[in-house]
Amino acid sequence: MNHPIPYGRQHITDEDIAAVNDVLRSPYLTQGPKIGELEQAFANYIGSAYAVAVANGTAALHLCCMALGVGPGTRVITTPLTFSASANCVRYCGGDVFFADVSSDTVLLDPAAVRTLLESHPQGYFSGIIPVDFAGYPVDMVAFRELADEFGLWIIEDACHAPGASFVSETGTEHRAGDGSLADLAIFSFHPVKHIAAGEGGMITTNNESLYKHLLRLRTHGITNKPTEFTAPYEGEPERGGWYMELQELGYNYRLTDIQAALALSQLARADSMLDRRRELASRYDSVFAEAAEKGIPVQIIVPPDGVIHAYHLYVIQTPNRKGLYDFLRTKNILAQVHYVPVHLMPYYRNFGWKPGDFPNAETYYAHCLSLPLFPTLTNDEQDYVVDQVVTFLKAV
C-alpha cells in the first residue's frame, strides 16, 4: 500500500460537515440547543436515564471523581491496563490510586484480584472502583456491583472503548456498557479514534438524578442559575433579578461546544452501522488468526464467549516478537499501535512505589500485544493487506 494505514481513524461525511456548518451560522457556538439534543440521543442510545456532555473523556472522569467526593485520603482501585486518564482523575482530586491485576483471558480488571485487595484491608479503606471496558470488551459489571455493595464502594465505568457493547448476566438480563443499571456513573470519549468523533468531547451517563444535577453544575464552574437551587440568604444584598446566579462550589469550565455536539450527533446517527462494520472487520481478523494459530503460527487473540457483545474499539493480537512485528509493519506503511504501557509502570506512578512485577498478567499482555488497524472505513482490501503482512512476518519467526 502506498498510503499509511493507521490503527484507528474517524469517518466524516458530508452530512457531518453540513451539521457543523449549520451550527456555525446559528446564534449559539457553545452550550446551545445541540448539547441537550446530544445528551438525549446519547442517553437513548446507551440506555441510561441521564447524560451530561463535557469537554472530553478526561474531564468526564475528573467530574465523576468530584461528584463522588474523591479528595485527599480517598483510595480508588483501577486497572493498570488502560489509558492513564482512568487513574489520573483520582489524582486530580488528591486521592490515592491503587491497581489490581487483570485476568489473563479477558485482560480486564479481575474482580477476584480486586476482592483480594479489598479483603486485605479493613472495611472502608477503599471508596471506589474504576473498571475499564478495555478494547471494547465489557467488564463483568455484575461482579463489580456485588463487590461494591459488599464493601460500600461506588463504581465509575470507563466505557470509552465500549459504546454499544453489552453482556447478558446469569439472570438473563442484558446490560449495555454505561447504561446506568450497575455502575453509578459511566464515561465516554469523542476523541477521533473512538467510536464517535467530535474532535474533542466526552459524556457521562448515569441513572442517579442527584449525581446528574451535581455534574451539570460542576461542568460550568459550580454555578447554578436555577432559582429552585439557590441557597444564599437574601439578607444584606440588593434585590435579585433575572441576572442572579450562584457559585455554590468550585467547578470547572468543562463545557462541550455546540459545534462539537453537532458533529457527535451526526455521527451518533450512524453509530450502529459503524459498529457493525467494526464487528465485521474483527470477525474477518478472527477467522484468519484462529486458523493461523491452529497451524502453529505464534499469534493469539481474545474471543469473547457467547452473550458478551464486544464493541471493538481495538483489535489486538498477542505474539512473542511484538517489537519485530511492530517495526516490520511500519516498513509496510501499517501503523499498528501498542495499547497500553501499563499505567503503574509510568514514571509518575512509579513515584508512588509501583514497579515491574506488581501486575504480571497486565505486564505479560503488554509485552505481547499489538493493535491492528480497525476503523469503519478500513476496506477489505486494506485489511487483507494487513493480514498478509502480519502472517508473512509471523511465519518467518
Cβ neighbours for 92, distance < 8 A, ≥ 6 positions apart: 62, 65
Q: Are 131 and 185 in contact (CB under 8 A)?
A: no
Find the farthest-apart pair of alpha carbons in the chain and give their distance in angstroms, rounded.
82
CB of 200 to ligand PLP, least distance (A): 6
CB of 316 to ligand PLP, least distance (A): 13
Closer to ligand PLP by Cβ: residue 160 or 264: 160
Closer to ligand PLP by Cβ: residue 19 or 193: 193
**CB neighbourhood size of 123 (10 A):** 10
Closer to ligand PLP by Cβ: residue 289 or 376: 376
CB of 388 to ligand PLP, least distance (A): 29
Q: How far is CA 212 from the centre of its chain?
A: 19
CB of 300 to ligand PLP, least distance (A): 22
Rounded Cα distance, 192 and 198, in Å:
7
Closer to ligand PLP by Cβ: residue 20 or 204: 204
Closer to ligand PLP by Cβ: residue 132 or 329: 132
| DSSP secondary structure letters along 229-286 | G--S--TTSPPP-TT--EE-S---B-PPBHHHHHHHHHHHTTHHHHHHHHHHHHHHHH
CB of 208 to ligand PLP, least distance (A): 21
Q: Are 128 and 68 in contact (CB under 8 A)?
A: yes
CB of 156 to ligand PLP, least distance (A): 11
Rounded Cα distance, 70 and 60, in Å:
14
Closer to ligand PLP by Cβ: residue 164 or 202: 202
Phi, then psi, of 205 in degrees rounded to 5: -120, 150
CB of 59 to ligand PLP, least distance (A): 7
Rounded Cα distance, 126 and 216, in Å:
26
DSSP label of 344:
G
Rounded Cα distance, 57 and 63, in Å:
10
**CB neighbourhood size of 42 (10 A):** 26
By Cβ distance, which residue is nearest to ligand PLP? 57
Closer to ligand PLP by Cβ: residue 132 or 390: 132
Residue ranges in contact with ligand PLP by CB under 6 A? 56-58, 82-83, 85-86, 132, 158, 160-161, 189, 191, 202
